[in-house]
Amino acid sequence: MNERCWAVVPAAGVGRRMGGEIPKQYLPLPGGLVIELSLRRLLAHPRVAGVLVALAPDDPWWPATAHADDPRVVRVEGGEERCHSVLNALDHLQGRADERDWVLVHDAARPCLRAADLERLIDRLWRDPVGGLLGVPVHDTIKRLSPSGEVEATVPRERLWHAFTPQMFRLGALRQALQAALRDGRLVTDDASAMELAGQRPRLIEGHPDNLKITRTGDLELARFYLDRQSVGQ
């Protein structure tokens, strides 16, 4: 049997750290809204059979987006936390996908994902027993703070990586891992964490550092810069 690949995009958050009235995934960038660019890059890959977008039930912005009526894009109800949204999407996939199908979980607020990085991730993990994620090695000096805000220690940065998305795992394995994490009261902030808690060892695939997650106001300007550079390089 030939496995298929699906994408899940959790987008039910309100982006509190951005501080605006409009969630960060609906802010404009060159070429479209943040979420439109993120979805466009997933949908452009020939192995992606479809995308499930997990949204807040009362989301008023989604219907006006470019992909709201795309037959390859399915809206599902998001949850209170990211992990709940991802699990809701995986539950929805149960009826149309095989347990061995691959799932790419990608942040809605990462609009700068490069096609080459996505291709490298899928190609290197397609026959992997576990799966993995994009990331980049840590180059900065890392400090650990005490509860009072003072430097407690300098953390060796060797073998430390920044975790990016997409993160790619088998549908059945990831669903079980997220269910187990939630049963234990662990609100994991990425899918690789759930797999690690389940005793698996995801593979890290190095991507480009411009795969930025828009979190704060200044990130939007940086994303514009990265997108401009990418368009010049194409």
CATH number, domain at 48?
3.90.550.10
Smallest CA-to-CA distance from 86 within 103, 102, 68, 98 is with 103
What DSSP string describes 3-71?
A: --EEEEEE-----GGG-SSS-GGGSEETTEEHHHHHHHHHHTSTTEEEEEEEE-TT-SSGGGSTTTT-T
Q: For residue 28, what pLDDT is reported?
A: 96
Q: Give me the mean pLDDT over the 53-65 stretch.
A: 96
Q: For residue 95, what pLDDT is reported?
A: 83
Token reading at 97: 């996908």
Mean pLDDT score across all residues of the chain: 94
pLDDT in tens, 180-204: 999 999 999 999 999 999 999 999 9
Q: For residue 194, what pLDDT is reported?
A: 98
pLDDT in tens, 79-132: 999 999 999 999 999 889 999 999 999 999 999 999 999 999 999 999 999 999
Sorting pLDDT into bands at 50, 70 and 90, what band is 3? confident
pLDDT in tens, 60-76: 999 999 999 999 999 99
Count up the domains in the chain and report the number.
1
Domain span holding position 212: 5-233
Smallest CA-to-CA distance from 6 within 91, 81, 120, 78 is with 91
CA–CA dist 18, 33 (Å, integer): 15
Is pLDDT at 133 greater than 60 in this prediction? yes
| Amino acid in position 113 | L
Is pLDDT at 20 greater than 80 in this prediction? no
User: Coil, helix or strand for 145?
Assistant: strand
